[in-house]
Amino acid sequence: MRIGIFYNHKQVDRENALRLSRMIRGQGGEAFVFSRISDMKGVDRLIVLGGDGTILRVAKRASEMDIPLVGVNYGNLGFLAEFERGEEERAADLVLSDCVVVRRSMLEVDIDGQKSYCLNELALLHSVNERNPNGIVRISVEIDGKKAGDFSADGLIVATPTGSTAYSLSAGGCIMTPDSETFILTPVCAFSLRSRPIVFPDSCTLTLSFAKDSLMLYGDGDYLGKADGERKLTVRKAVRTARFLTVDPNGYFRRLTEKINH
């Protein structure tokens, strides 16, 4: 089996990745070490050494190639990681075994035909500049062509179940388990007390319009571009999925308690 080892060179010493590669070769596998996402090719499974941000970026690229991965946390929270620093040998054992693969749904964001993909969330935020130093945005939402509401807020978040424990949760959204077939729409600092998060089936298509407002779009924290009244923005469930290897498919609530509820 061909195992890729991606390491974030800002967080992880290369020698740690090389040590892990020797463990894998010692168990009869092939190991390839790299620190550039563009080098991710020709592998059957992937170990990611880094924090949650690193795992997010790598998972999006891996989803294009349908490569399953497992994370070893070298960051802070490490909610997406299966193992902690020092547990690299367990990660090596996992990727070489007949283990469970969990699929995580993703968002497909379409801006006038230009598509981007998100594992956690799409965030639409107002821009702050001399002409709009502290304004709010007005976003009209349709779900499968039916009006779902108008939101006046600092912005809006569309999150997957995986992303429901990230930015959306901080903005007042609920937690959705990874196997939930739903997405959540969460306003950011809404102007009205009537504006509340909306959970909707992931089979629906979300259409967003902004009147004259100009919004900054971020996918999993990465800048995607701007949207305004002249551009059509739709969000739907992506065909591709992120695939995660796990030793405990029922360990979500344990991880939730250990990582977030502390």
Give the residue numbers marked as catalytic.
52
Single-letter amino acid, residue 259: K
Task: Identify any residues that bridge with 31 across adjacent strands, giving them in sequence order.
Answer: 3
Q: State the burial class of residue 5 (Cβ atoms within 10 Å of its Cβ: 0-12, 13-18, 19+).
A: buried
Give CA–CA dist 204/156, Å, rounded.
17
161-166: which pairs have CB atoms within 8 A and are 24 or more residues apart? 161/104, 161/105, 162/80, 162/104, 162/105, 162/119, 162/120, 162/242, 163/118, 163/119, 163/120, 163/121, 163/220, 165/79, 165/256, 165/260, 166/120, 166/121
Give CA–CA dist 209/82, Å, rounded.
38
Give CA–CA dist 89/205, Å, rounded.
43
User: Residue 147's closest CA among 70, 88, 206, 82?
Assistant: 206
